[in-house]
Amino acid sequence: MDASKVKYIVIHCADTPPELDIGAAEIDRWHKQNGWDGIGYHYVIRRSGVIESGRPLDINAAPGWQTVTGAHVAGMNSQAIGICLVGGRHGKPDFSGQQRESLWLLVETLKRIAPEAEVVGHRDLDKGKTCPGFDVRAWWANRGQHGAG
């Protein structure tokens, strides 16, 4: 994916209860059970704050490197990077402090690579969604205050 084509960094949630700590492998399995090719997100942030890779993403990939378009926001996947926070059951932003810090660091890093990309929640691009349960645009606009939700 060419960094100049990245229009969105999209934040999602897994819609899982607080006691369920899953990662990219479990989401990959769930998505395959739905008949999809596999995990739709490029990154998953576990409850512990550990950032796991989902679909391969290599901005400005050299020939021979694999980059796979995400499958996380209808009609915009070719221009979006998807990040999934574990948790957020029923639209409640119950993310851990470690997750909030990791989200901040990951988005900050991705913005250095794709500075023109807008940081949004899934709900900002799909009016039928409530994910991730907080106003991502406001969170990023107030980036002097770390945290999600």
At which residue do the structure tokens 């949630």 appear? 13
Give, in order, the Cα–Cα distances in Å from 17 to each of 14, 47, 85, 91, 98. 9, 11, 12, 11, 17
Catalytic residue from among 12, 31, 42, 72: 12
Catalytic residue from among 13, 41, 42, 72: 41
Annotated catalytic residue 12: yes
- What's at 116, amino acid-wise? E
Give 62's DSSP letter.
P
Q: Say how many C-beta atoms besides its own lie within 10 A of residue 2's C-beta.
A: 11
Annotated catalytic residue 13: no
Among candidate residues 44, 42, 46, the one with its CA nearest the CA of residue 8: 42
Catalytic residue from among 7, 92, 129, 146: 129
Catalytic residue from among 13, 43, 84, 131: 131
Annotated catalytic residue 131: yes
Catalytic residue from among 31, 42, 72, 122: 122
Compute the distance between CA of residue 149 and CA of residue 143 in angstroms, rounded to an integer: 12
Annotated catalytic residue 43: no
Active site residues: 12, 41, 122, 129, 131
